Structure 1
Amino acid sequence: MISAGIIGGSGYTGGELIRLLLHHPGADLSFVYSTTRAGKPVSSAHPDLLGVTDLLFTDTANPEVDVVFLCLGHGNSSEFLVNHLFAGHTRVIDLSNDFRLREDADFRGREFVYGLPELNREDILEAKNIANPGCFATAIQLALLPLADAGQLTETVHVNAVTGSTGAGVGLSDTTHFSWRNNNVSWYKPFTHQHLGEIRQSLRALDPDSGEVLFLPMRGNFARGIFATAYTRFEGSLADAERLYLEYYDGAAFTVVSDEPLQLKQVVNTNYAHLHLHQHGDVLLVSAVIDNLLKGASGQAVQNMNLLFGQPENAGLQLKASVF
């Protein structure tokens, strides 16, 4: 059994990790660290786990666990690792953006591998530490990787992606209150979103001549999921594009190319990413849907854990969506 610990377990991604690890056939959840809730039942922050576990939050981290998941705010993971030492054998899977870029990947003797299995599977299998991708970054990269790999992403790509309210975390702000979010849609951080750095890094690793990505993120009036659309010029037919995508994702555990147009509910509460291709003249439109808390965060983190420890890639992640 893989002994696991979670740092920062009171938020949405921490709650989903707890749920997944409690039901994982090859993992044992050793502790859930939270300085603000130490001594309180985990179910006090995650009522969906009432009756599932008697675990209590703790402010003491076991430094000998096999793997520790960092579910901290951006910028806080590096500070935590400075102030808390773990055993040499302990793998770290970080869900913040602290170590995703190459210039940040080597931190105090720990080398972080970018944890997008559809891009870096072989490196992940040999890694010690993982920088888990961002949620928008996951959806957008999965939509574009086959084109970059084929050298077909040389022109500007226009991306529009809408995310649910859980993407903003549990902390309240003007734009997360129900009365603001309900029956409302808005954009934010146009063309400057923090996930653009890792997206460009991955695309240019496959093709240094990849074109610019213009990304408009949007807030949706729903709780979970990301619906992303990307379009660009494409030299070839729809059949050519479909062949590229089917070949690139052949053998991928969770990324599926669909013949039918997508709906968000088909992936919510799963670790799946579904893609759909549509052509209009010489423009290719790629749609991608994921659950921002699972394939976009905690589910992908467990997927990476499975790869690190030689578990079946889908262990603990055989989840079904509810489309009705």
Structure 2
Amino acid sequence: MVGATGYGGQELVRLLARHPGADLKVALGSSDSDQPRTLPGLARTWDGQITAYHADALAGCEVVFLSAPEAFAATSAAELLARGHRVIDLSGAFRLKDAAQRARFYPATPDPLPDGTVYSLPEFDAAAVPGARLISCPGCYPTAAMLSLLPLARAGLLQGDAIVDAKSGISGAGKGASERTHFSENHGSVAAYALFSHRHTPEMEQALGLPVTFTPHLVPLDRGILSTTYARLVPGVTAAQVANTLRAAYAKAFFVRLTDDRMPEIKHVVHTNFCDIGWKVDEPTGRVIVVAVLDNLLKGAAGQAVQQFNLLCGFPEAEGLL
């Protein structure tokens, strides 16, 4: 795998090292100048050494995970595909289908997308994964929003736009230090950011087919997302229809747990690959509120990538994730 030093990358190393069907041959950094290092927190789980990126080091690997910045992923994925590897990418480089949107939010991504690219939310796109050459994993915020609304949108129960108000732990910002991620700036505070400009907005709109107003917030937690989504129902849609639609959509989805009208909490999903979803319908006004919680480093990143790996290789979907 590539990008093993980041928060998501370290989670991937931990998951793959324990996965009964995976053989973690090599873990690399996301730069050819990275100094060799170990991961003390994974001692006795994985005692290997992370070395600088070099494509030759991945020779013999059937599947390569990319957990690296978009610009690096955009260039290295092309090289890896040319060498015959299948790639599971956790960055945003290949998520957007519209070329103009990619140029705006991910300018380093080549156009057109590589042949065999599949954007996959496992609960809805599992059938497309086994034939993919490059699997693009959804972002953490879009994962929560899509799992909240996609069943309702596809069933034609929604109209107008949607509002996504989401709170994320600070690890969602990655390991790069900044004033915004400084402990003293975040402890005891909550802050909104990137209003009308967050690159996850077009990803949500692409999947849902609805205009989305997205407001993300940083909260003083190390990990976890709570997403509260507001939408309008088509006139006449009942609370029972909403409940039945969600239950039918996730009847066989192992990693989605419906809590009905008990609102889920972050503490119930951290360090797991589960997404818990609760909702409430106000029939007189035709409004629905859906609350979803997940661990941004697992279901929002590394865990979801391992789900894709299981689908790609024919393993049970929960293999190595419990």
- The answer to whether the superposition gives a TM-score over 0.5 is yes
Q: 2:190 aligns with which of 179, 185, 189?
A: 185
CA contact (8 A) 1:128 1:308 kept: no
Matched, 1:279 2:281: yes
**How many Å separate the matches in 1 of 2:9 and 2:113?**
25
Which piece of structure 1 moves more, 48-57 or 224-233?
48-57
CA contact (8 A) 1:38 1:56 kept: no
Q: What is the match of residue 268 of structure 1?
A: 270
Q: 1:40 aligns with which of 32, 37, 40?
A: 37
Return the offset for 1:122. 1.0
Q: Indicate the SS of the match to 1:30.
A: coil
**How many Å separate the matches in 1 of 2:65 and 2:111?**
18
Matched, 1:67 2:67: no
CA contact (8 A) 1:268 1:291 kept: yes
Structure 2 letter corresponding to 1:95: L
Tell me which stretches of 4 or more aligned residues in structure 1 moved more than 4 Å. 82-86, 103-109
Return the offset for 1:149. 0.8
Return the offset for 1:240. 1.5
Q: What is the match of residue 251 of structure 1?
A: 252
Gaps of 5+ in 2: 100-109
Post-superposition Cα deviations, 1:256-313, rounded to whole Å, max 9, x if no partner, equal: 2113211111111111111101123321110000100000000000000000000010
CA contact (8 A) 1:75 1:96 kept: no
**How many Å separate the matches in 2 of 1:283 and 1:52?**
48
Return the offset for 1:108. 7.2
**Inter-CA distance 54–149: structure 2 relative to 1 (3 Å threshold):** same
**How many Å separate the matches in 2 of 1:148 and 1:108?**
26
**How many Å separate the matches in 1 of 2:202 and 2:232?**
22
Q: What is the match of residue 313 of structure 1?
A: 317
The two structures, once aligned, show a CA RMSD in angstroms of 1.8
Post-superposition Cα deviations, 1:199-240, rounded to whole Å, max 9, x if no partner, equal: 111122xxxxxx321111111111101000111222422221
**How many Å separate the matches in 2 of 1:117 and 1:301?**
9
Matched, 1:295 2:299: yes
**How many Å separate the matches in 1 of 2:254 and 2:134?**
21
Q: What is the match of residue 137 of structure 2?
A: 132
TM-score (norm 2): 0.89
CA contact (8 A) 1:231 1:285 kept: yes
CA contact (8 A) 1:111 1:128 kept: yes
TM-score (norm 1): 0.88
**How many Å separate the matches in 2 of 1:109 and 1:277?**
38
**How many Å separate the matches in 2 of 1:165 and 1:63?**
35
Matched, 1:22 2:17: yes
Q: What is the match of residue 95 of structure 1?
A: 90
